Amino acid sequence: MTRKICFQPIGMIHSPYRRPEDAPRRPRSFPAAKATVTVFPRYRAGLRDLRGFSHVLLVYCLHLSQGYELVCRPFLGRRRRGVFATRSPRRPNPIGISVVRLLKVRKDGLDVSHVDMVDGSPLLDIKPYVPETGPRERVKLGWLEMELRKLEAARDDDRA
């Protein structure tokens, strides 16, 4: 049985990126990219006890994404891949998830860095990032492993 699922934003993300094409594809490479997260007044009590975490997961709506492709060409690689094997923003449900560094917890929200989301992205949820809740065995990255190795090799060549 399929039913409609509706979410209400709990806040808004304010980032330096105005357009999707401006946002970094690999936010780890852009540590200086900072954003503020404003949490709407009725949800601010939920920020309690978030201090002390170094990273949080932001779940947000990819509000500028239009339509979707089930097979697409990802940022890394030349072959077309199934959308669920990529991080493409053009998805059946335009939901983004990013791990960001938590810089400060304010009364009305957060200051974060290492961001890749577009300004004005509606915030759906905040969760503390807890690596211990992830898998304990070696994580495999499928087709992406080879592309990341090529990227690192090219980066090493550029530095020589």
Q: CA 156, CA 133: separation in Å to the nearest integer?
A: 33
Tokens standing for 35? 């954003």
DSSP output for 5-41: ------EEEE-S-SSGGGS-SSGGG-TT-EEEEEEPG
Considering the domain delimited by 11-134, tell me its CATH architecture: Beta Barrel (2.40)
Give me the residue spans of the domains in the chain.
11-134
Q: Supply the DSSP symbol for 48.
A: T
The predicted-structure confidence for 66-92, as pLDDT tens digits, reads as follows 899 999 888 777 889 899 988 888 899
- Nearest C-alpha neighbor of 64 from the set 3, 4, 17: 17
Give the mean pLDDT of 89-112.
94
pLDDT value of position 160: 38
How would you label 5-38 residue by residue, b for 16+ Cβ within 10 Å and e otherwise?
eeeebbbbbbbebeebeebeeebeebeebbbbbb
Q: In sequence order, what are the residues at sequence separation of 6 or more whose Cβ sits closer than 8 angstroms to the Cβ of residue 12?
A: 37, 38, 40, 120, 121, 122, 123
The predicted-structure confidence for 18-36, as pLDDT tens digits, reads as follows 887 777 766 555 567 899 9
Q: What is the pTM of this model?
A: 0.83
